[in-house]
Every structure is written in structure tokens, then in C-alpha cells.
A and B are shown apart, each in its own frame.
Chain A
Amino acid sequence: MIKAFIMIILGAVFSFILFRILPGDPAKALTGDPRLPLETKKVVFKMFGLDRPLHEQLFIFICNLLTGNLGISFQYKLPVSQILMEKLTNTLILLIPATVLSMLLGIFMGLIAGLFNGKLIDKIITSIATLFWSTPSFWGGMVAITIFAINMRLFPPGGMLSFYGASPSLSNIGDLLWHLFLPMLTYGIIFSGQYTLILRNSLVEVLTEDFIKMAKAKGHTDFEVVMKYALRNASLGLVSMIGINVGYILLGSITIESVFNWPGIGRLLYDAVFYNDYPLLQGIFILFIIVMVASMLVVDILYSYLDPRVRIK
């Protein structure tokens, strides 16, 4: 936990320095005016503390960070934490079901492929999984929109709800699900490919182990052998990959959210980069670090649960 905390602080400092050395003018975000005269710009910078020496700005930033204060967004003039919570919620609404779908689909396909190893069905599933995994998410999204939204008019091409102005709630959950379906499916299918291949390969290896033969000799059905013995052992690699992918998926949400116009963290990050919105950029960066660190911690814990040989002391 201490290591995780140190990593977060180091990441925050790195983000602070990185965004300040990038080219661009925060005065544009502060005022909306990209051609502010120099005298006016100096006054504006003074109002927001940007005229202070960098080390002083960094000290203030770290002190605020330790109290949970991520500052005020230059663009939106709102607390960064408030903006992040709202957009993160929207991103999680998309990513959680998408991740669950990719896992279920990946496990299902990996299971079938592993069980029927060497047969035609295995080859078909492996090819499909490879195709899914190698498909860029933005391309997959655009194809899905073209086919299912524009040509077949089955689903909306983007957005979170039919009527802008509504917020997700129990009363419009059906509408939300309708909008969620295509991006979730796109994401889920693309990431399922990786899980299918990992699980299939692990399963093929595990099914040759002696304890599997023992289980069969005891009289267990194939279904029981797979579900009770083989899957748990084969899923170790899968669990590690899912943990690593959590952070990757969050970063990758930029493309999916842009293609599907989903109002989440990905789009927020893109806007913040464009306008040199330092506080927002730093907030998003820190969020990503926290998510990555947290997911690796969860993976470690889960790993020790799945594999008794590995225990956290």
C-alpha cells in the first residue's frame, strides 16, 4: 500500500512537470481567447497563480492533492473532482458491462476451443478470436455504427440517451441500455479475442496435467473436470491479463467514446489536452494512475485466492 501511495505521488509530480513543458497556452482555456495581449495574459496568469515559480506551484499542487483538492478546471471553471466523478461514472457505465461481456465471451469461447482442441471448432474460434483482437477499436466502432445504426437503424449511432438533457436513472434505463449496446458490444467483442486465446492456450496445457487424468479416473464428467479443476488453474494468466487491461481499457476509452460520442473520461481527456487545461489533465492522469495501481493490487489479491501456492504475507 505504501508503495502504491508513493507511485501515485510520483506519477502526480511527473504529470505536473509534463503538462507544463508541453507547448500551448493555458490562457486560451482560461479566457477562451487564443490571442490575448501579453499584458492581459500576465494579469490572468497572476489571478490563477501561474506566474509563480514552478517549484512553488508544485508545492501548492502536492499540498492540495494530499487533501483531495484537484483544483479548478480552466475550461469549465468547476472543481476537477466534480467533473471527473461525473465523467468517470459515464465511462464506468460503458466499461464495466463491456469488460464483463468480454470476459464472459472470452471465457466461453476459450472454453469451447480448449475442450475441442485440434478440432475444426477450435480452429474457427481461434481464427475469430485473432481477428477480434487485431481489430482497432475505432474501426470496429465505425463498422458497427455503419451497419447497425445507419443502414439497419437498429441502434442509435452514439450518445448516452435519446434525449440530451436527461440523466441516466431507473426511469430511462431501457433507453440507456439501447444506447449502450453497440459500444459495449464493440468493446466486448474486441477484447474478448485476447481472453479467448489466453484461456484456450492455458486450458490446453492444463488438460494434459496428471491431476486432470486423476479427476477423470475418479469418475468426474468432462464438464465437472473442466469447471471444477481445469478452469481455475487455467484462469491464472487470464486474471493477470484482465488486471493489466483495466488501465489499458480506460485509456482506450478515448477512441470508443469519440466514435460513439459517449460523454466519458476519454473525451474529457481529449478536450483537456487541446486546451492545456492543466488541472483537469493532472486530475485525469492521477485518476489513471490510481486505477492502474488499484487494479494491480486487486489482481494480486485475486491471484492469491485462486492459487493457494501464492499467498500475501
Chain B
Amino acid sequence: MGRSLKNLLCSALVLCLLISQVGLSSIKAHATGETVLRYGITGMSISFNPLTSYSYTMIRSILYATLFAYNETWGMEPWGAEYAKQIDPLTIEIKLRDDWYWHDGKPVTSYDYKFTWELLLKYPCAQTRFVKAVSSIDIINDKVFRVHLKSPMGGYLPFLTGVCVAVPKHIWEPKGLTNESALTYENIPPIGNGPFKFVEYKPGEYILFEAFDKFFAGKPKIDKLMVVIFSSMDAMVNALRTGGIDVVSNVPMSVAIELMKDPNLYVSLAEIPSYRSIYVNQYPGKAGHPALDDLTVRKAIAMCIDKEGINEAIHPGFTVGFTPIPRYWPMFNPEVQNIWPKYDPKAAGDLLESADYKDTDGDGIREDPKSGKPLRFRYWVYNSYPEELRAAEFIRDSLRQAGMDVEIRGMEAVLWDYVVSKPYDWDLAQWGWTVHDPISCWFPYTSDAIPAGWSSSGYHNPEFDQLYNSLLNATNYNEFLEAQYKLQKHFAENLVEFILYHESYPSVWNVKWTGFSNKPCGVFWYGFNSRTFNDVHLVGVTEVAKGMNWNLVVGVIAGAIIVIAVIAIILIRRKGKRAQPTAT
């Protein structure tokens, strides 16, 4: 072998060795024994303002505790509150726990709740709907306050649970956050009172929390919780499969089924009171299809929706829905299952025929006898959920059998929000709601919801409004239950919206972790309570697993590139030398 070639190869090997030593042990490990749970989410902007943030209530549940929390059977149990007792139908007395502290060490007091709720009532925003029934708050002492209600609500108080939390008055008030400025306050760093304290937020990348040792339910078993933000579902799932993160809770069912095959992952299904439905444009003065105001047409459409079939094909594990109240809640009215029209596209066609909706031009689509418009509806569907697009196609096929049709338009959330909530120029739109409690879930279907910007279908019916008021004015549980049953019956009989299903959310975690509080609604990104991560710990492992030996990888690759390049250069030079004429 030529000397120059030997030198070249030696140099390549030395370079390779050097490169492989780069960054030796450079992974900055966390402190010895520190456990960090990495929770993956997909999404965009995160807001730490607990008053206005609509999405990512899971973040709020990590930072804050509610007065009450749901237990495994959807009953309410005291959590941050020691008790809530009814003094009279319109007065509730609440006592806060003595050992409930803010993350800065100050105690949570009645003044915090009075400050927060008065702010919500004066400057309406996302959380206002949970305290709408509050008339005023009287402070008895630091830990006890009385809430005066506008209506009794049968003892079911939405502001006790769900997402309604308080902000620290001793921090917000000195900053002048006593008016509209509170709504745009970024609240970084947030001072909460939940199981985890805020440490760091890197926009678009992660949020880091650490366990709060003074939390009343005990310090969480993990030292840190990192919420890792991914731009796409695929990237998040890949990270879970390769150990980059430890738990996710918002993957589609189709993905969860695939992940079940991975022995390193555990998939847990939990019913959540979040439903998908098809909104029907009934806004007053709307630009939507006039035939949708006719109950006969809505009934025919309902008869073309095969909920069981869609669930089986697209959403295995979901629960068929009829009204906002899920079937597994104690106040569910079983009668609605028989009221809701059965799937029968042929019968739907006959129904329309008998109501004079005939196909006059022979194109297979019936026309509205009053307006002459064909029963062809614009159907907006969120692009972010491909399974919903599939469901829409199922429905379209059945509608065509009955002589109706839909133009399915998938669109991004921004455009969907704009079209559905502003010009009302749509016919059907598919989305849904999360049911935080059995009272506020009915508000979007009242006439008052329209000017408040909370209506989905623009439904406005005085009878429904009256039933809703009777729910709010229920003085005991029996009256409350009776009002619930009537609301559900009205909803089903009038087909206010086409509720498709209540979701079952798969939560997936690495089997090296255990202790997730999976009930009542899983490790769910809408976080119903702050106990989700309290008992999570590693199974018999005290350190985070190390990554692979990237030194070796980098070195091998660097060496291979250099060797290939060297060989190529040698070959080219040899070719050149052979071609050179020799002197004679």
C-alpha cells in the first residue's frame, strides 16, 4: 500500500476518533434520584391565565386545585374545600382547607375566591359561565365564605368542580389586575395552589413543573413534570414509542389500537364526558339552509346517521350519545334512547316524500317545497380530525339514499371558527363540547347563549329556555333530576343537535410508570381534577433511563464518510494517472 494512502487512512482514523469523543458524557443529567415524568401534548399556544384559557385545562389542573373534585363514579368530593353546605336554597357556605397554600407559601383564603369570582362576573370571559349563578360573596373569615346564588340549581354547583379556580389576590391586586387587564395578563410565572409549581416555559417546546411539597393531598411522588409540546401527532407518538416521552392522553383511537401492540406501552381507555355532534344552523336571520328549521327534515337527517355503525368502524370504544348528558352519568334519561330516531335511510326518504319534499328535477336530490332549494347542505368538518371526515362520508352515503346530500368541506380550525361563529353562513358543522357539569352543558342551547357567543347551533326556543331556568331554580335534587330529564327529552324530541357519541379517550403510558389516576376520565388533557399525577411513580426504577451511545454512532458515521470520500478521491486520482501519457 502506498505511503500517501497509509497517511491518508491514518489521518482519517484519528479524525474519526476525535469526532467520536466530541461531547463525551455531555448529556446534562438531572440530579441523581430525580424523577421526571414527560407528558406529551400536541397543540399551539398555551395560556397561563386561568380566567381566560379555554384550552389546556390540564395545565390549569396541574397548577391549581378546585374546591371539589369528581370521584370515580362521578360524585363530587371535597378537595380544596373542607365542606360546602347549604344554608338556604340560595346560600352556600364553603370552608377552605386549613392546609391549602399558594406556591409562594401564603394560605388560600376566602378573599382569593371573592376577588376571582367578582372579576369573572364583571368582565365576562371563558370561566364566567361557571359562576354565572353567583350573585354575591360574603366573607365570614379567612377560610369561610358564603356564596349567594341567583338560582338554587338543585344543589349542583358548577363552580365547585371542573375548571373553575381562584387566582391569588395578594399577587394580582397589587399588579392592578382588577379590570380588563386581567384578561390579557400572561401570568408568567403563575402562582397556583395545585400539586405542581411552575418552573419554566419555553414557548412551543415545553413547560416544566416541580412537585409542590406543601400540597394538601401530599407531595407528588415525582420530582418534576414536563409537558412537552409537539407540533404533530406523529412526532408525539414516535417520541412515546422510542422513550422520548412517558405518557400521552389525546391520541386517536386508531393510533391507540396500534400502540396496544407495543409491549413497552400501556393503553388505558376511560370514558370522558366530551361529545362530538353535528351542529344544525338555526340562528335567527341566518344564511343557512331554510329547510333545517323543519323538524321533519332534521328527523330525516337523524334517521340517516348510523351511530353504532360509525362507532364500530371509526371509533371503537366510544359511547353512542343522544344528549349532552352521557349514558353513564346518574342523571341520564334512558327514555331518550327510544325517542331518538332509529337509523333507517329508506324510512327517512318516505318521511320526506310524505312531507312533500320531492325530487322534482330527477337529479336524485329532493327540493324544499317552500324555498325550492335542493336538500343539499354545506357540511363543515374540522381538518384536524381525519376520522371525523370519514364519519361525514358515512353520513353522506346514507343521506343520498334518502334523497339528500351534503357538500363536505374540511377546514382548518381558524377558518371553521370564523365561518361558524361569525357570518353563520353554514348549514351543518361537526364539532362538540366537553361537559364539565350537568348544568353549564345546557347553556349553549339557550337563547342567552347567542349574544354571549356560546351558542353552537343558534337554537332559540322559549320552552327550552324555561326548562333551563327550572333546572337553575331546582331547590332539591328531585327537582333537579326532573328538570334534567325534561331537558334531555326536549333535546331528543326536537333534534336540537345530532349528538354522535361521547368519547373514550385513550391514555398511553410507558410501563415503567404506574399510579396514574385514570378515573373518572383518564389522564385526560382536559384535566378534570388535580389528582391525576399525584401518585405516579416509576416501577422499581429510581433513575431516568439513559439514552443510547451517540458517541459511537457519531464516530462511526463520521469515519465512514471520511473513508468513502478518501477512497473516491484515490480512485479519481488513479484514473487521472492512468490517462496521463508516459514519456517515451
Residues of chain A having any CB pair with chain B under 8 Å: 23-25, 28-40, 43-44, 47-48, 75-78, 83, 87, 108, 112, 115, 142, 145, 149-150, 153-159, 162-166, 171-178, 181, 219, 221-224, 257-261, 263, 267-268, 270-271, 273-277
Which of B22, B124, B183, B205 is within 8 Å of A164, CB to CB? Answer: B205
Tell whether A261 pairs with B235 under 8 Å between CB atoms, given A34-B417, A221-B577, A274-B414. Answer: yes
Most buried by B among A35, A75, A150, A222: A35
Write out the residue numbers on chain A whose beta carbons fall within 8 Å of the beta carbon of B28.
Answer: 163, 166, 171-172
Q: Which 7 A-B pairs have the closest CB atoms?
A: A174-B23, A32-B47, A221-B576, A178-B550, A157-B238, A23-B418, A223-B576
* Cβ-based interface call for B314 (8 A): no
A210 to chain B, nearest CB (A): 19
Stretch of B8-16, B49-57, B521-529 contacting A (4+ beta carbons < 8 Å): B49-57
A142–B234 CB distance below 8 A: yes
Q: Which residue of A lies closest to B224 (CB)?
A: A165
* Chain B 373-413 interface mask (CB, 8 Å, partner A; 1/0): 00000000000000000000000000000000000000011
Residue of A40, A76, A164, A172 with most partner-chain B CB within 10 A: A164
Distance of A24 Cα from B421 Cα, bound (Å): 10
Identify 21 residue pairs between A and B in the complex whose beta-carbon atoms are under 8 Å apart, listed by A's number: A24-B417, A31-B47, A32-B47, A33-B52, A34-B54, A37-B452, A40-B124, A145-B238, A157-B239, A157-B244, A163-B27, A163-B29, A165-B202, A165-B208, A178-B547, A221-B573, A223-B572, A261-B230, A261-B236, A273-B414, A274-B414
B553 on the A face (CB < 8 A)? yes
Contact of B183 among A44, A153, A159 (CB under 8 A): A44
Chain B residues, Cβ within 8 Å of A162: 27, 244, 547
CA gap between A270 and B384 in the complex, in Å = 14
Q: How many angstroms between the C-alpha atoms of A115 and B575 in the bound complex?
A: 11
CB <8 Å contact, A83 and B203: yes
Q: List B209-228 residues whose CB lies under 8 Å from chain A.
A: 226, 228
- Given A31-B183, A222-B579, are A261 and B204 also a contact pair (CB < 8 Å)? no
Contacts of A78 in B (CB 8 A): 203
Q: Which of B449-469 contact A (CB under 8 A)?
A: 451-454
**Chain B interface extent, by class:** 35 or more
B26 close to A174 (CB less than 8 A): yes
* A36: chain B residues within 8 A (beta carbon): 52, 124-126, 183, 453
Q: Does B31 contact A (CB under 8 A)?
A: no
The A interface is mostly helix, strand or loop, or mixed, namely helix
A153–B557 CA distance with the chains assembled, in angstroms: 15
> Contact check: which of B205, B208, B547, B572 meets A263 at CB < 8 Å?
B205
Complex CA gap A153/B242 in Å reads 7
The distance in angstroms between the C-alpha atoms of A37 and B236, with both chains bound, is 34
Shortest beta-carbon distance, B373 to chain A, in Å? 25
- A177: contacting residue among B188, B414, B454, B550, CB under 8 A: B550
Instruction: Determine if B235 and A173 form an interchain contact, defined as CB atoms under 8 angstroms apart.
Output: no
Q: A164-B226, A261-B230 are in contact. Are A33 and B418 (CB under 8 A)?
A: no
Interface string of B116-149 (1 = CB under 8 A from A): 0000000111100000000000000000000000
Q: A163-B30, A274-B45 are in contact. List 15 more A-B contacts (CB 8 A).
A: A23-B419, A31-B52, A32-B47, A32-B53, A33-B183, A34-B54, A149-B242, A154-B548, A156-B547, A173-B26, A175-B27, A175-B550, A181-B553, A260-B235, A261-B232
Q: Is B415 close to A, CB under 8 A? A: yes
Residue B150 interfacial (CB < 8 Å): no
Question: Please, which residues of chain A bring their CB within 8 A of the CB of B45?
Answer: 29, 32, 75-76, 271, 274-275, 277
B554 on interface, CB distance cutoff 8 Å: yes
* B228 in contact with A164 (CB, 8 Å): yes
Residue of B nearest to A87 (CB): B204
Chain A residues with Cβ below 8 Å from B414 are 23-24, 273-276
Question: Please, which residues of chain A bring their CB within 8 A of the CB of B231?
Answer: 257-258, 261, 267, 270-271
Residues of B contacting A271 in the complex (Cβ-Cβ under 8 angstroms): 44-45, 204, 231
Among B203, B206, B453, B575, find the residue whose CB has the most chain A CB atoms closer than 10 A.
Answer: B203
Q: How far is the CA of A150 from the CA of B451 in the complex (A)?
A: 50
Distance of A40 from chain B, by nearest CB (Å)? 6
User: Are the CB atoms of A158 and B244 closer together than 8 Å?
Assistant: yes
Shortest CB distance A93–B (Å): 14
Contact of A223 among B204, B454, B575 (CB under 8 A): B575
Chain B positions within 8 Å of A, measured between CB atoms, are 22-24, 26-30, 38, 44-45, 47, 49, 52-55, 123-126, 180-181, 183-184, 186, 188, 200, 202-206, 208, 226, 228, 230-232, 234-236, 238-239, 241-242, 244, 412-415, 417-419, 421, 451-454, 547-548, 550-551, 553-554, 557, 565, 568, 572-573, 575-577, 579-581
**A83–B180 CA distance with the chains assembled, in angstroms:** 26
Q: Which of A77, A181, A268 contacts B186 (CB under 8 A)?
A: A77
A159 near B244 (CB under 8 angstroms)?
yes
A76 CA / B229 CA spacing, docked (Å):
14
> Given A171-B23, A172-B23, A261-B230, does the pair A157, B242 have CB atoms closer than 8 Å?
yes
Contacts of B421 in A (CB 8 A): 35
Complex Cα spacing A38 to B49, Å: 19
**A165 vs B419: C-alpha distance when bound (angstroms):** 39
Which residues of the other chain, A, contact B183 by a CB distance below 8 angstroms?
Answer: 31, 33, 36, 40, 43-44
- Tell me the bound Cα distance from A176 to B22 in angstroms: 11
Q: Beyond A37-B452, A77-B186, A261-B232, is A173–B576 a contact (Cβ under 8 Å)?
A: no
Give bound CA distance, A88 to B204, whole Å. 13
Chain A residues with CB under 8 Å of B29's CB are 163
Q: With A24-B418, A150-B242 in contact, do A172 and B26 touch (Cβ < 8 Å)?
A: yes
Residues of A within 8 A of B228 (CB): 164
For the complex, give the distance between the alpha carbons of A78 and B203 in Å.
Answer: 10
Question: How far, in whole Å, are A181 and B234 apart by their CA atoms in the complex?
Answer: 19
| Contact pick for A221, options B235, B241, B452, B580, CB 8 Å | B580
CA distance A28 to B55 in the complex (A): 11
